[in-house]
Homo-oligomer: A and B are copies of this chain.
Amino acid sequence: VSRDHHPESSRVRVNGVVFGSDRAPVIIAGPCAVESRDQILDVAMRVADAGARMLRGGAFKPRTSPYSFQGLGERGLELLAEARERTGLRIVTEVVAPDDVELVAGYADMLQVGARNMQNFRLLQAVGERSTAVLLKRGLMSNIDEWLGAAEYVVAAGNPRVVLCERGIRTFETATRNTLDVSSIPVLRDRSHLPVIADPSHAAGRREWVPALSRAALAAGADGLVIEVHPDPENALSDGRQSLDLEGFRDLVVELRDIAGALGRPLADRPETSEADGLARRSASR
C-alpha cells in the first residue's frame, strides 16, 4: 500500500462510485444502526436527495457492553439492500467476523472493518480474499504505520480495493469522543496510494461539531466523508448524540459543496436513476 511501490494514487470503484484523490469527494451518510424498515428507507431517500452517494448503516454492531443493542443482523442487511434499490445509493456496512464476510458481501457494495477490528488479522484476511471493496477504519489506538500494515493484510490477501477512514484517535482530551487526527490525511497522501476519507461523527461524538470537522477533513484533502444521520436522533438506539438530523445534513452538504468547489474538486451529484436501477438489478442477481 506504500506509495514507494505504487507512485500513482489508486482509485477504488464501488459499483459506479469512485474514491480517489483527483475525483469528487464521496459523501456517505446514514444511521449508526439499521433500526427498522421505516427508519432506513426514510433516511436513505432523504440523504440521497441531499447529495449522498452511499448509505451507511450497521446490521452487526460491536458494542462495549454485551447488554447493549447488537443490531438486526441479516434482517438489517435486507433492509439496506431494499434502500439501495429505491435510491441507487451504494451500501457500506460493517462486518465483524470472518464467518460473516460471505453473508454481508452478498448484500453490501463495500465492507466496513471497524476501528475495534483494525488488527483482527483473520478478518482482514477474510475480506482480502474477496473482491468487494473494503472501508478500513483506523483503530482508536493505532498509529499510521499499523493502519497501513492492516491495509497491507487485505491487499496481500488479494484485494486491492481498500479505502482508509480516519475516525479519531484516543487522547487525553475528553471534550470530544475522540480526537480527529486530521493530519493523518496529508500524511497518508504522502505515504500511501490508497484513498482516505474521514468520519467526523465518531470523532466528535456531538452533532454540533460535526459540520466543522466535516469541512476541515474535506479541506485537508479527504476523498470522502462518512456522516451519521438519523431521522430522529434523540430516539436513536445508538450514537444519537452524534447524529445529524435530516435538515442538519442537508445544510451541511450545501456548505461542503462550496468548499469542495473552492478546492477544485466539486462534489459528485447523485447517480442517475438508470444507473441506480442497473446496480440494484445486478446486485439482486448476485
A-side residues, CB < 8 A to B, are: 62-67, 96-99, 116-117, 119-122, 139-146, 149, 152-153, 156-157, 169-176, 179-187, 189-190, 203-204, 208-209, 211-213, 215-221, 258-259, 261-263
Contact = CB atoms under 8 A, between A and B. Distances in A.
B208 A212 contact: no
B213 A183 contact: yes
18 contacts: A63-B121, A66-B149, A99-B122, A116-B120, A169-B173, A170-B172, A171-B179, A173-B183, A175-B184, A183-B203, A186-B212, A187-B209, A189-B212, A190-B208, A215-B263, A216-B217, A216-B220, A259-B263
B169 A183 contact: no
A77 to B, nearest CB: 17
A219 B221 contact: no
A183 B179 contact: yes
Contacts of A144: 173, 175
B141 A172 contact: yes
Given A179-B183, A208-B186, A258-B262, A122 B143 contact: no
Most buried by B among A62, A142, A172, A261: A172
Contact of A183 (B172, B176, B263): B176
Contact of A221 (B183, B187, B190, B212): B212
A181 to B, nearest CB: 6
Contact of A97 (B98, B156, B209, B215): B98
9 tightest A-B contacts by CB? A141-B141, A219-B219, A186-B212, A262-B262, A215-B219, A116-B119, A216-B220, A216-B216, A97-B122
A187 B181 CA distance: 15
A266 B98 CA distance: 45
A269 B64 CA distance: 39
Contact of A66 (B66, B152, B219, B258): B152
A236 to B, nearest CB: 20
Contacts of A212: 182-183, 185-186, 189, 219-221
B183 A170 contact: no
Given A141-B141, A173-B144, A209-B186, A152 B65 contact: yes
Given A173-B143, A220-B212, A156 B116 contact: no
Nearest to A68: B149
Contacts of A62: 119, 121
A187 B176 contact: yes
B182 A213 contact: yes
A209 to B, nearest CB: 4
Given A143-B174, A172-B172, A99 B98 contact: yes
